[in-house]
């Protein structure tokens, strides 16, 4: 991309304004954002958070050279790096920055800490054109949420300055994300330049909605100006990817302690030595989510915008305080960077047996991915985001982001026990006196979440890396009730179902819909991928073939009929199936082939009733079964039309094999 003398890419010519419509069949990728909140005002939202009850108790340079610098010089350069990150493009220099909380100056105890840790670093002299040039911005840098010396810093910041922040009875920090309680995929924008125009997936089904360079810089300036106007900002320098050969350095600049603690938990936490030698980040997030974007700006369709600029290695967040935007924004970045290194990025869970056998779990919401990948008899490598390189698998993150709705100690003991001091609880409701969380309460949102370090899981494997996977398990909650509980897939079938990313959702009674709805999300995470799905599928096939991995399709949904007439397959049966996959015994089973989908199904699995292994055996109305099977097959075919014109691999042979692996009728 050409430069304009400033070192920045030339702005592209204005492109047509993007109009996004919220309706079915508009070609948008699967939208798993949360529904709008019920509250009409901020005070009403806060009132929903605390559940009323009778009180039970009375109330009262280069990195090598950087590493060898003296401590004072290293800290000075560290703050200069932060100042440069916050530089306004119009003023050409960053703000004057100083470490520490501006409110702490009056405390003698904190002054001692300030003497040790806070270093004033003035930016180069610039012309004074507004108040931001005259003030210091205080930087709260990589505050520790759970250390013994600084254990309360982020908690104190949140509770003191952020309304809606409370310590719950378990010690976790309860927070509110404001009006947005889920991601806003229709407000995600990616800069289209001469490189990304050809590299990324655009158009029908794609999550990537274009914006031009100029509009990104407008939003970046808005975010940076907002952050620089504050008395203090939080800065996290952390890592992505446990593979040391392919680690990415990220910097997150935010305005809320909630966001800083969230990212501390979700990214990989550097050691003191790694932090001292951190240097310049590979990617930077500017989270100004409390400040809206300008809706009159080109490409903006609401007051929310999350913008990715891959050339500048930056992300800007405006108009949403939902912390998941940062997590998934970085995941999108990894979906772009890792394939360039011939590393496959995956939206999956991952665990490992005591003998070193690794399994990947793919599945959309409600399929049981978290439940099945969390196994007391196996080590947890990660619950959501992974890479598969020439060295094996590695977790991208340093934490877990678990759903909390209807959470119980009996169903999810590991998640329950992980919700303790240091954990962020998003948008939960709790008793106003006992501070006990009501996990079944949906007053704020159904999308309640807990973010905690992966070390909080007892059987987590640290470091979060493992050998090449032995099994690739694709999970589907088939509410139509026609897919078998388990099928062994050949390579082409694995790619077909990986690209399809199928599950079925059942609408709530308030929607008046009683029939299941098929949902397809390419690569089981279409909202986050950057390249065309077939490119990830080709990489998956190559790695599976090279390392001898087996593909499986596991249905955790209905049997004996569709939702409303059949029954959900018992979790105990699904666990026996997964155990048989892990042990390798299922490879030695006798198999039969099904109609329409052509799936290979075992005739017998220990601990699982044989009659449920073949779906038609459980249906009383055989004609209804056949019609439902053909209906689902048609939905698969219609969905896959998006991908039929893409060449996969060096020639079209693999493309034809994948098409042939789908429903045939």
| Active-site entry in 118, 220, 328, 461 | 328
Catalytic: 225?
no
H or E stretch at 489:
strand 486-489
List phi, psi (to 5°) of 660. -70, -20
Q: Which stretches of 525-662 are assigned E, i.e. beta strand?
A: 550-555, 558-559, 567-568, 591-593, 600-602
Q: DSSP secondary-structure letter at 417? A: H
Calpha distance 194→628 (Å, rounded): 46
| Active-site entry in 297, 301, 365, 443 | 365
Catalytic: 43?
no
| Active-site entry in 91, 96, 183, 532 | 183
Catalytic: 593?
no
| Active-site entry in 132, 215, 260, 370 | 370
3-state secondary structure of 275: helix
| Active-site entry in 30, 180, 449, 535 | 449
Q: Where are the alpha helices (DSSP H) in 341-412?
A: 369-373
Find where tokens 């996990």 sit: 439
| Active-site entry in 212, 307, 383, 384 | 384
> In this structure, are residues 210 and 192 in contact, taking their beta carbons and an 8 Å threshold?
yes
> In this structure, are residues 253 and 233 in contact, taking their beta carbons and an 8 Å threshold?
yes
Find where tokens 């019609």 sit: 627
Catalytic: 347?
yes
> In this structure, are residues 398 and 327 in contact, taking their beta carbons and an 8 Å threshold?
no
Which residues, other chains included, contact 638 with Cβ-Cβ below 8 Å and sequence gap of 6+?
A: none
Of 537, 516, 517, the C-alpha closest to 526 is 537
CB atoms within 10 A of CB 509: 8
Of 329, 449, 353, 467, the C-alpha closest to 401 is 449
Calpha distance 541→524 (Å, rounded): 15
How buried is 235 (Cβ within 10 angstroms: 0-12 exposed, 13-18 middle, 19+ buried)?
buried
Length of the chain in terms of residues written? 665
Tell how strand 344-347 and strand 385-389 pair up: antiparallel
How buried is 273 (Cβ within 10 angstroms: 0-12 exposed, 13-18 middle, 19+ buried)?
exposed
| Active-site entry in 75, 369, 468, 582 | 369
Catalytic: 449?
yes
Of 345, 326, 341, the C-alpha closest to 386 is 345
Calpha distance 140→97 (Å, rounded): 10
Of 156, 53, 157, the C-alpha closest to 437 is 53
> In this structure, are residues 382 and 413 in contact, taking their beta carbons and an 8 Å threshold?
no
List phi, psi (to 5°) of 116. -80, -35
> In this structure, are residues 508 and 395 in contact, taking their beta carbons and an 8 Å threshold?
no
Catalytic: 6?
no
- C-alpha 443: how far from its chain's center? 24
CA distances from 33 to 180, 182, 188 (A): 9, 5, 12
Active-site residue list: 183, 328, 347, 365, 369-370, 384, 449
């Amino acid at each position: 991309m050409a430069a304009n003398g400033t070192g920045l890419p030339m702005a592209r010519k204005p492109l047509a304004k993007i109009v996004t419509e919220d309706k079915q069949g508009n070609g948008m990728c699967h939208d798993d954002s949360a529904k709008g909140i019920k509250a009409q005002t901020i005070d009403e939202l806060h009132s929903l958070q605390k559940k009323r009850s009778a009180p039970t108790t009375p109330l009262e340079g280069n990195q090598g050279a950087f590493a060898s610098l003296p401590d004072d010089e290293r800290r000075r350069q560290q703050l200069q790096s932060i100042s440069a990150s916050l530089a306004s493009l119009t003023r050409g220099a960053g703000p004057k920055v100083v470490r520490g909380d501006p409110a702490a100056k009056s405390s003698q105890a904190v002054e001692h800490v300030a003497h040790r840790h806070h270093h004033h670093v003035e930016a180069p002299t610039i012309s004074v054109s507004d108040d931001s040039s005259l003030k210091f911005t205080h930087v709260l840098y990589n505050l520790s949420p759970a250390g013994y010396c600084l254990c309360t810093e982020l908690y104190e910041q949140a509770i003191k300055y952020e309304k809606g922040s409370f310590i719950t009875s378990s010690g976790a920090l309860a927070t509110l994300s404001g009006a947005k309680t889920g991601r806003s995929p229709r407000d995600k924008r990616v800069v289209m330049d001469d490189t990304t125009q050809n590299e990324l997936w655009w158009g029908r089904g794609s999550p990537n909605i274009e914006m031009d360079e100029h509009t990104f810089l407008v939003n970046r300036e808005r975010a940076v100006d907002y952050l620089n106007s504050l008395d203090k900002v939080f800065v996290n320098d952390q890592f992505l990817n446990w593979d040391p050969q392919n680690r990415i350095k990220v910097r997150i600049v935010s305005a809320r302690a909630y966001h800083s603690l969230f990212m501390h938990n979700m990214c990989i936490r550097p050691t003191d030595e790694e932090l001292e030698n951190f240097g310049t980040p590979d990617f930077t997030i500017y989270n100004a989510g409390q400040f809206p974007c300008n809706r009159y700006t080109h490409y903006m369709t609401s007051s929310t915008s999350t913008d990715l600029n891959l050339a500048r290695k930056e992300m800007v967040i405006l108009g949403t305080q939902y912390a998941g935007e940062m997590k998934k924004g970085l995941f999108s970045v990894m979906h772009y960077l890792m394939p360039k290194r011939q590393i496959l990025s995956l939206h999956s869970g991952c665990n490992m047996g005591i003998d070193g056998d690794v399994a990947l779990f793919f599945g959309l919401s409600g399929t049981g991915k978290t439940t099945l990948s969390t196994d007391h008899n196996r080590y947890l490598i990660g619950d959501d985001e992974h890479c598969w390189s020439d060295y094996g698998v590695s977790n991208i993150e340093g934490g877990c982001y678990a759903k909390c709705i209807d959470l119980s100690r009996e169903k999810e003991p590991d998640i329950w026990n992980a919700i303790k001091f240091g954990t962020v609880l998003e948008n939960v409701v709790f008793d106003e006196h006992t501070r006990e969380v009501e996990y079944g309460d949906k007053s704020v949102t159904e999308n309640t979440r807990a973010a905690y370090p992966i070390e909080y899981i007892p059987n987590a494997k640290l470091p979060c890396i493992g050998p090449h996977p032995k099994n690739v398990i694709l999970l589907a909650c088939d509410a139509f009730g026609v897919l078998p509980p388990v099928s062994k897939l050949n390579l082409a079938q694995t790619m077909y179902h990986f690209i399809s990313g199928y599950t079925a959702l059942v609408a709530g009674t308030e929607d008046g819909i009683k029939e299941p709805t098929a949902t397809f999300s390419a690569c089981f995470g279409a909202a986050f991928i950057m390249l065309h799905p077939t490119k990830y599928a080709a990489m998956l096939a190559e790695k599976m073939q090279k390392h001898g991995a087996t593909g499986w399709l596991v249905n955790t949904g209905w049997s004996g009929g569709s939702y409303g007439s059949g029954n959900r397959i018992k979790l105990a049966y699904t666990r026996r199936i997964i155990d048989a996959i892990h042990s390798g015994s299922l490879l030695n089973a006798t198999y039969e082939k099904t109609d329409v989908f052509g799936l290979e199904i075992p005739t017998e699995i220990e601990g699982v009733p044989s009659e449920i292994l073949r779906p038609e055996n459980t249906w009383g109305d055989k004609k209804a079964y056949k019609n439902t099977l053909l209906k689902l097959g048609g939905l698969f075919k219609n969905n896959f039309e998006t991908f039929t014109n893409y060449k996969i691999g060096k020639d079209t042979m693999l493309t034809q094999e994948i098409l042939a692996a789908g429903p045939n009728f």
